[in-house]
Amino acid sequence: MRKIFLFFILGPLLKTGLLVVLLFSCSFFEKRGETRVLGSRSVASFDYFSYNGDDDYYNQTPLPGEDCFYNPILPGWYSDPSICANGDDYFLVTSTFSYFPGVPIFHSKDLVNWKQIGHVLDRESQLPLDGQPTSGGIFAPAISYNPHNHTYYVVTTNVGTGNFFVKTKDPFGAWSDPIELPEVKGIDPSFFFDEDGRAYIVNNDAPEGPPLYDGHRAIWVQEFDPVADQTIGPRKVLINGGIHFEEKPIWIEGPHLYKIKGHYYLMAAEGGTGPDHSEVILRGDHPMGTFNAWEKNPMLTQRHLNPGRENPVTCAGHADLVQTREGDWWAVFLACRPINNQFENLGRETFLMPVQWSEDGFPFLTQGEDLVPMVVQRKGTQRQEKVTFGNFSVVENFDSDRLGPEWTTLRTPARELYSLTENPGFLTLKCADTNASERKSPAYVCRRMQHHRFECTTSVNFFPGEENEAAGMLLYKDEFRQYFLSVSKSGENRKVSLNKISRSGSETIASQEIKNDKPVRLKVISKGLHYDFCYGTGKKQWKTLAREVDAGYLSTASASGFTGTTIGLYATRKQF
**306 vs 285: CA distance, rounded Å:** 38
DSSP codes joined into one string, 439-489: SS--EEEEEE---SEEEEEEEEE---SSTT-EEEEEEEEETTEEEEEEEEE
Specify the length of the chain in residues: 576
**From 55, 253, 349, 479, the catalytic residue:** 253
Distances (CA, A) of 200 to 80, 146, 229, 235: 20, 12, 11, 10
The number of beta carbons lying within 10 Å of the beta carbon of residue 271 is 23
Residue type, 404: G
Contact call for residues 315 and 334 (beta carbons, < 8 A): yes
- R_g of the chain computed on alpha carbons: 26
Are 574 and 468 in contact by the 8 Å Cβ rule? The answer is yes
Q: State which amino acid sits at residue 37.
A: V
Query: Measured on CA atoms in the order 351, 356, 360, 366, is the torsion positive or negative?
Result: negative
Spell out the residues 6+ positions from residue 310 whose beta carbon is closer than 8 angstroms to its own.
none
DSSP per-residue letters across 69-93: EESPSB-SS--S-EEEEETTEEEEE
What DSSP line would sit under 243-263, residue for residue?
S-GGG-----EEEEEEEETTE
In our burial notation (b when 16+ CB lie closer than 10 A, e otherwise), range 507-539 reads eeebeeebeeeebbbbbbbbebeebbbbbbbee
Instruction: From 561, 555, 72, select the one nearest 339 (Cα to Cα).
Output: 555
Asked if residues 120 and 162 have their Cβ atoms less than 8 Å apart, the reply is: no
Between CA 476 and CA 188 the distance in angstroms is 26
Catalytic residue check, 253: yes
Per the residue annotation, which of 55, 80, 110, 469 is the catalytic one? 80
At residue 253, what are phi and psi to the nearest 5 degrees?
-160, 180
Answer yes or no: 229 catalytic: no
3-class state of residue 66 by DSSP: coil
Q: For residue 552, what are the contacts with CB-CB under 8 A and spacing of at least 6? A: 342, 343, 529, 558
Region at 562 (left for phi over 0; alpha for psi -120 to 50; beta for the rest): alpha
Cβ(355)–Cβ(363) under 8 Å? yes
Separation of alpha carbons 392 and 405, rounded Å: 17
Main-chain phi, psi angles of 559, to 5 degrees? -100, -15
Considering only CA atoms, which of 370, 564, 351 is closest in space to residue 451?
564
The 8-class DSSP code of residue 552 comes to G
Residues with catalytic function: 80, 253
